[in-house]
Amino acid sequence: MKKLLTLTVAGLMAAGPAMAELVFPSLSYRTGPYAAGGIPFADGYADYFTLLNERDGGIGGVMTRVPECETAYNTERGVECYEATRGEGALVYQPLSTGITYQLIPRVTADGIPLHTMGYGRTSAANGEVFEWVFNYPANYWDGASVIINYLLEQNEGSLEGQKIALLYHNSAYGREPIRTLEILAEEHGFELVQLAVDHPGQEQGNQWLTIRRERPDYVVMWGWGVMNQVAVQEAANIRYPMDQFIGNWWAGAEHDVMPAGADADGYLSLNMNVLGDLPVFDEIQQYVHDAGLAAGDGSNLGSVLYTRGMYAAMLAAEAARTAQEIHGVDQIDASMMRDGMEALEITEERMEELGMPGVGPAFEVTCANHGGPGMGRIQQWNAADQEWVTLTDFIAPDDSVTQPLIEEDSMAFAEESGIEPRDCAM
Amino acid sequence: MPEQLIFAMEVTLNGLMTGVMYSLVALGFVLIFKASGIFNYAQGVMALFAAMTLVGIQEGRVPFSHLINAIFGTEIYDFGWDVPALLAILLTVLVMVGFAFFVQKVIFKHLVGQEPIILFMATIGLAYFLEGVADLMWGSEIRTLDVGLPQGINLAIDETTFNWFGYGFFIDNLDIVATIVAAVLVAGLVAFAQYTKQGRAMRAVADDHQAALSVGISLNFVWILVWSLAGFVALVAGIMWGAKSGVQFSLSLIALKALPVLMLGGFTSIPGAIVGGLIIGVGEALFEFSVGPLIGGATENWFAYVLALLFLVFRPQGLFGEKIIERV
């Protein structure tokens, strides 16, 4: 009898209408050696969706839900998190890890769930004709490398001929991503590229900085993450390398990357894909989320570099979901509709202003062929006295004539080895 | 003198300094293994926990504040005072002694006589537990460690070597301090073991704990003492490494650098931990300098283990380890 009753209740529950919600899983890392970067990003991501729920009643009247799964920046755990959450009606994944991204690309393609890797992951996924389910707007690694070189060109009256640039990189899939682009740019602009790999996690860099001291490169470009960044900034200070000739990419330019070195970090440069500053949306997050006791973290990260980027990532996801609702004329969208929304996403200056984050990123449109966005970045500089980043430049565009052929070549090679027939976006 | 030779000399000196930093971590492992036969997997996490506690006390932060605030709806994060570095270090030592009591009373007291693998597994559990407690107690943010240690290039060495070779060597002031601290630490530990009653009791237990028990030495006391000393060594290692990178969770991974040192120097020898550290430090630095550029660099992590394995093949007990002969 008891068994029959249980089965009946279970049957009724299964037959009943599912509660409408939009699910945005967060594959976060709040523990382990990379937690310092993972926490503010995850907080920003979750808090923005909470704001939408509390202030607007969700997106298009449908509440959002952000189930978090801890990956500890570990690829295997990232895949486990994907498997554990995809059945919950996941609309899009943002794993904040290039290693996890590489493992998820074939899975999301088979399962029909979009993957958004903003400024990380597989760069050639920008080619939407091959990577139908993967998006990396508004910028990718190769764009980042090119933007840094364009900035240096600007600083050197348009020529880097005969100069020496050292690339200090995390010895991982992530760290190795910009090498090819920089090699081509070195050939094109006549500078020498010195490559210096740093092993995980990056606490040991003594030999690399001794090499930098001996080689005396004109600039050091860093592709770092986690403890590697803090140690590198300290080591640069130790050998008295000029901080304004040391440029990190956008994953090596958060407050916690420079603060341990104190005043010695003053003048350090880094790339950023989003704007910093006192955005009006922060007041709303404070009011509707933090003051209401609904913050994902302790509230101390609000407005920081990576919190802002996590919030920006959430905003792009929410806007894509809204676009999908409009395209399909329904409020409750599925992953396939979400993909359509991402592919038709249009971010304008007016929309960013409306959302309380004017100019947080560049205005851009995603298309069937271009999943990568405009690829622009800004250069910021650390002011140790005021403990804040100062934006030095407007958005700088990458050199598409270098990055596009690389994207084409790499994505076509992937299509061939994976047996993918590229879509014809001109149709 | 050829330029490459001068550079190699600089790399060797820096390798020696790095080796001392490895030895600081390895010492904690040796102390516990020598006295109790336990390979303490949690030593790296103890360094992390000690450094986080030191910074937390220094900054006057309320331990477990997130937990307290979540349960009671309060918003308390700090006491509003700063504690001087020396006092904070003393208080952290007390916390590590308390931790030693906890470890002995709650875990190892109940595991006396168990197989070494069981004791090892217990330390794995302890490592993850301690990492979780550290997170709950002090949070996951990176903290700046400031106990007044000097950092940056040593100008005297730079100038002197420049006058000799026409190229100034880079030696980090922090590494020089670490070397002095390690020398004092080892001298202190050896003197403690040789000339104090408690130290002799520790050595007696290390030699034969059943015989030590039979002459009235308290195994319980000695193990608490040893875990306290290991906690103190972990604090020193945490301070030195934390000064370089800030205090953060990756500090626990420094234990990985101690393993090849132990394989090479032996698990039971304090001088072995020092010499092993120096050999590993110099070996990996010279390999990276000479061979690294030819094979893509970043060789330090794996080459340290290759070096240790080479020593292991010819001397399984390590350079200074005790050779165990079991009669059948």
Q: What is the pLDDT of residue B326?
A: 59
Domain residue spans of chain B: 3-314
For B179, other C-beta atoms within 10 Å of its C-beta total 18
- Which structure tokens are listed for B208? 């034969």
Chain B residues with CB-CB distance to A214 below 8 A: 7
Interchain contact A206–B (C-beta under 8 A): yes
Partner-chain contact B144 A259, CB within 8 Å:
yes
Cβ A148 vs Cβ A129: under 8 Å: no
Torsions phi, psi for A391 (to 5 deg): -75, 125
Q: Is the pLDDT of residue B328 over 60?
A: no
* pLDDT, tens digit, 9 for 90 and up, residues B61-118: 999 998 898 888 888 889 999 999 999 999 999 999 999 999 999 999 898 888 889 9
Of A33, A197, A204, Cβ closest to residue B296: A197
Q: Is the pLDDT of residue B324 over 90?
A: no
Partner-chain contact A31 B254, CB within 8 Å:
no
CA B220, CA B242: separation in Å to the nearest integer?
A: 32
* Closest approach of B66 to chain A, Cα-based (Å): 7
CA B15, CA A423: separation in Å to the nearest integer?
A: 55
Of A33, A197, A260, Cβ closest to residue B249: A33
Chain B residues with CB-CB distance to A234 below 8 A: 151, 244-245
Mean pLDDT for chain B overall: 91
Listed residue (A249, A220, A215, A253) closest to A236, CA to CA:
A220
Low-confidence ranges of chain A (pLDDT < 50): 1-17
Cβ A254 vs Cβ A34: under 8 Å: no
Chain A residues with CB-CB distance to B287 below 8 A: none
Chain A residues with CB-CB distance to B134 below 8 A: none
* Closest approach of B284 to chain A, Cα-based (Å): 10
**Contact partners, residue A9, CB within 8 Å, separation at least 6:** none
CA B324, CA A290: separation in Å to the nearest integer?
A: 62
Q: What is the pLDDT of residue B165?
A: 94
* Closest approach of A379 to chain B, Cα-based (Å): 24
**Long-range contacts for B305-310 (Cβ within 8 Å, ≥24 apart)?**
B305/B259, B305/B260, B305/B263, B307/B260, B307/B264, B307/B279, B307/B280, B307/B283, B308/B259, B308/B260, B308/B261, B308/B263, B308/B264, B308/B280, B309/B263
Count Cβ neighbours within 10 Å for each residue of A38-50 and write b for 16 or more, e otherwise. bbbbbbbbbbbbb
Partner-chain contact B241 A203, CB within 8 Å:
yes
Chain A residues with CB-CB distance to B298 below 8 A: 171, 197-199
* pLDDT, tens digit, 9 for 90 and up, residues B267-321: 888 889 999 999 999 999 999 999 998 998 889 889 999 999 998 888 888 888 7
Interchain contact A370–B (C-beta under 8 A): no
CATH of domain A141-275+377-401: 3.40.50.2300
Cβ A57 vs Cβ B158: under 8 Å: no
Interchain contact A28–B (C-beta under 8 A): no
Q: How many CA atoms lie within 13 A of A5 on its CB side?
A: 2
Domain residue spans of chain A: 21-140+277-375+406-418, 141-275+377-401
Interchain contact A199–B (C-beta under 8 A): yes
Partner-chain contact A39 B170, CB within 8 Å:
no
* pLDDT, tens digit, 9 for 90 and up, residues B21-75: 999 999 999 999 988 889 999 999 999 999 999 999 999 999 999 889 888 888 8
Partner-chain contact B245 A230, CB within 8 Å:
yes
Q: What is the pLDDT of residue A12?
A: 44
- Which structure tokens are listed for B113? 């006589």
Whole-complex ipTM: 0.89
Chain B residues with CB-CB distance to A198 below 8 A: 298
Chain A residues with CB-CB distance to B248 below 8 A: 33, 35-36, 227, 230
Interchain contact A215–B (C-beta under 8 A): no
CA A14, CA A6: separation in Å to the nearest integer?
A: 12
Q: What is the pLDDT of residue B213?
A: 87
Q: How many CB pairs under 8 A join A and B?
A: 114
Cβ B55 vs Cβ B248: under 8 Å: no
Percent of chain B predicted with pLDDT > 90: 67
- Amino acid at the residue A344: A
**Long-range contacts for B77-85 (Cβ within 8 Å, ≥24 apart)?**
B77/A298, B82/B58, B83/B57, B83/B58, B83/B59, B85/B58, B85/B146, B85/B147, B85/B148
CA A53, CA B68: separation in Å to the nearest integer?
A: 27
Same fold, A21-140+277-375+406-418 and A141-275+377-401: yes
For B231, the enclosing helix (H) or strand (E) is helix B219-245
* Closest approach of A235 to chain B, Cα-based (Å): 8
Mean of the pLDDT values across residues B230-247? 94
DSSP structural state of residue A119: T
CA B92, CA B54: separation in Å to the nearest integer?
A: 6
Tell me which CATH homologous superfamily contains domain A21-140+277-375+406-418: Response regulator (3.40.50.2300)
Q: What is the pLDDT of residue A18?
A: 52
Q: Is the pLDDT of residue B172 over 80?
A: yes
Mean of the pLDDT values across residues B117-135? 94
CA distances from A120 to A126, A174, A224, A407, B206 (A): 11, 7, 12, 14, 52
